[in-house]
Structure 1
Amino acid sequence: MTSDDTTIQPVDGPTIAVAHDYLTQRGGAERVALAIARTFPGAALHTSLYDPSATFPEFDSIDVRTMPVNRWGLLRRHHRLALPFLARAVSGHHVDADVLVASSSGWAHGIPTSGRKIVYCHAPARWLYQADRYAGDPGSRGLRSRAVSAATSILGPGLRRWDQAAAASADRYLVNSRVVQAAVRDVYGIDAEVLPPPPAPFDRSAVPEAVPGIERPFVLCVARLLPYKNVDVVIEAVAAVPDIDLVVVGTGPDHARLETLARAVGGTHLLGRVSDARLRWLYENSSGLVAASYEDFGLSPLEAASFGKATIALRDGGYLDTVEEGVNGVFFDRVDRDAVSAAVELAISADWDAERIRAHADTFSEERFSNRLRQIVSEEIGRG
């Protein structure tokens, strides 16, 4: 359910509100926003853009409150095109609450509030501080990536000033990993607490749904189809490993290029978006997960670990927090075909202890995440 009304209905005790940049895709940040919303039942969730068909259906049961910019259907369908308009939209969306918990990768931390503001930062805005990585190689950029590049070139200085002020408006900053902790310190001069997010919950009582057409052993790659996710390298690397296929789950602007590459090398299934029932089947029946992107937090290895599956991961970024070599995965040190292929071969030939892998995932439980977040909110209420 959605509304443009930013007034929170009075309840007994302190009022808590939640915010997220935009709800227009299915990714790790959106799953974390759901975990935050579950931590504070009944709290309104404020966001700039909301496309129910493009994000997780669980948001349907939450009181989602949007900004006027949401009225533009084109922007709901292509949120990157909204970049020039979001700073003004966010700055004009005042939330009346005792505590606002903002899940942010660059926008929600700028929402003004009458109470205390706690920011859960997934990463400082990539389009401002990692623009080349965010947009990808100039020769392979689509229209939207070129639009992002042009917008950041023109609007970058002003947006960086806005972003710095938005970060400074927070009373408490939390981050999802040590690499983001270092980035927040470098970009904003803020010392933030690391609070790892939980892996995605799966309904263990639901019957997994088999995916037709997948007959050979396979490794899984779950990623948005964006240049910095390095799915192209994964496709080429797995194609070079005998007797195993690759299944890619995810959507994004890089789809057409990756589809052409997949047809050329063979052995790759690009499934796009899948239901949780099918994703569960894929995890349960995979020979492991390949994670080659530059991630601020390595969420997908925890999803795989909850099914007792190991991860073949880039030794970089957030994967250093969630993959323990020899326990729930192996690392490769370079994003190139040969390095990834060698790591895949090593992982699929290893004898993994599924129970030990699941125990590793349990240390990142949603209960632990929610308990610490509630404690932090209580501390901020006491300071208000």
Structure 2
Amino acid sequence: MKVAVVHDWLVTYAGAEKVLEQILLLYPEADLYSLVDFLPENKKGFILNKKTNVSFIQDIPFAKRIYRKLLPLMPLAIEQFDMSKYDLIISSSYAVAKGIVTGPHQLHVSYVHSPMRYAWDLQHQYLKESRLERGLKGFMAKWMLHRIRMWDYRTSNGVDYFMANSNFIANRIWKVYRREAKVIYPPVDIEGFEYSEDKQDYYITLSRMVPYKKMDLIVEAFATMPDKKLIVVGDGPDYNKIKSKATSNVELLGYQSQENVRSLLKHARAFVFAAEEDFGISVVEAQAAGTPVIAFGKGGALETVIDIAAAEENAAVQPTGVFFKEQTVASLVEGVLRFEEHAARISSQACLDNAKRFSTERFVTEFKAYTEELLQEAHGRERSLREEKYDYRRNPDFN
């Protein structure tokens, strides 16, 4: 069986790439395809140091810096990959990877981290943050996203089976494609995080500093609570904007090594998360370190954090954090105060036990079992079609 794995782009090692890594470990002989591969040679371990088949976008001048702005070319680029020699194609998609062209005798399974957020329900937020709400550029951006949506919907028909990284994303897939999706939570390296019950008097948040992560909201909220220390880990385009809002009780550390991140997480009083995320691996990693979570109560966090309210309704439930209702300073402050009121009821052991539901071993087992089930079904259908054709031709009434 020949296998191909298709990923949108290879520029970093984040949540989607951790999923890709496990898929490649399951299928080490698979060929790898991606629109671009700008990974340094010493950072290719997670793709098993494979040679990546890339698209024409790789050779566009300054593509390494502007590849995201080349979205209008991506549908064309992904369709140029020749998949004809493969029996199984697995796409790992949060943009256009699921749009590869496959034939009727090939099985295409797509693990979707999210349908393109900026083309669907987050379009208006994207346009606002990019200052493309008005004018000629705004009109062109809206027209381009309109065309992308049409292409994205059409190419969903080329996927035989969808997998989603959360029920939240499965619902989004149904909303935009009207297709069912099997939920298989992404792998989290639970063992890689050192569990600790020894907590210090600081809160922590960590993320890439881009608008939808709402890091500025967290900093603004803690600026109104000078008696509470916040440590901020991460960098990105919004770093200077966020830094300008920091007060003396807020410490920005910028990028930190994984070793430092793990140490900071395990000693934090709580992890603060304000994004509406598809799944939110960092939320699970914090719990793996025995650290409770204060999270915006929407998106994947609803599936990975057990709110204190659930424990109030059922004494047998062990809470692992609290939710706040709105992405506003007032709501987040209320969430922090609510956490402090109930912190004694949230144990580090409960956080760890909850995190174990999302282990790498569980992902590998579920992904492999589901893929093999689909392959058996596909082979069974082909065999039935061959047998039907053979019986038809032997029919004495056949002319």
Q: TM-score, normalised by structure 2?
A: 0.81
1:304 and 2:293 are equivalent in the alignment? no
- The question of whether the paired residues in 1 share the 8 Å contact of 2:279 and 2:300 is answered with yes
Aligned to 2:204: 220
Letter of the 1:282 partner, please give it: L
Equivalent in 120, 125, 134 of residue 133 of structure 1: 125
Change in 2 beyond 3 A, CA 1:371/1:28:
same
Shift of 1:201: 5.5
1:123 and 2:114 are equivalent in the alignment? yes
Q: Tell which deviates more after alignment, 58-67 or 104-113.
A: 58-67
CA distance in 2, matches of 1:290, 1:149: 34
Aligned to 2:263: 281
- The question of whether the paired residues in 1 share the 8 Å contact of 2:102 and 2:158 is answered with no
Shift of 1:320: 0.7
Q: Which has the larger radius of gyration?
A: 2
1:84 and 2:94 are equivalent in the alignment? no
Q: Tell which deviates more after alignment, 365-374 or 19-28.
A: 19-28
CA distance in 2, matches of 1:80, 1:147: 20
1:369 and 2:356 are equivalent in the alignment? no
Deviation string 1:235-283 (CA, Å, 9 cap, x unpaired) is: 0112222433323333333223222223xx3333333433211221121
Higher helix share: 2
Equivalent in 12, 27, 30 of residue 25 of structure 1: 12
- The question of whether the paired residues in 1 share the 8 Å contact of 2:193 and 2:285 is answered with no
- The question of whether the paired residues in 2 share the 8 Å contact of 1:29 and 1:122 is answered with yes
CA distance in 2, matches of 1:54, 1:330: 42
CA distance in 1, matches of 2:20, 2:160: 19
Shift of 1:53: 4.5
Change in 2 beyond 3 A, CA 1:88/1:202:
farther
Shift of 1:78: 3.5
Equivalent in 57, 72, 76 of residue 60 of structure 2: 72
1:331 and 2:318 are equivalent in the alignment? no
Change in 2 beyond 3 A, CA 1:44/1:273:
farther
Shift of 1:59: 3.1
Q: Secondary structure at the match of 2:108?
A: strand
Change in 2 beyond 3 A, CA 1:74/1:218:
farther
Deviation string 1:26-57 (CA, Å, 9 cap, x unpaired) is: 43222222232233234233211222159965
- The question of whether the paired residues in 1 share the 8 Å contact of 2:205 and 2:233 is answered with yes
Change in 2 beyond 3 A, CA 1:279/1:298:
same
The alignment-based identity, stated in percent, is 27
Gaps of 5+ in 2: 195-199, 309-318, 380-399
CA RMSD of aligned residues (A): 2.8
Shift of 1:148: 9.4
- The question of whether the paired residues in 2 share the 8 Å contact of 1:44 and 1:62 is answered with no
Shift of 1:147: 11
Aligned to 1:175: 164
- The question of whether the paired residues in 2 share the 8 Å contact of 1:294 and 1:317 is answered with yes
Aligned to 1:93: 81
Deviation string 1:272-319 (CA, Å, 9 cap, x unpaired) is: 433211221121222221111111213221111111111100111111
Change in 2 beyond 3 A, CA 1:138/1:22:
closer
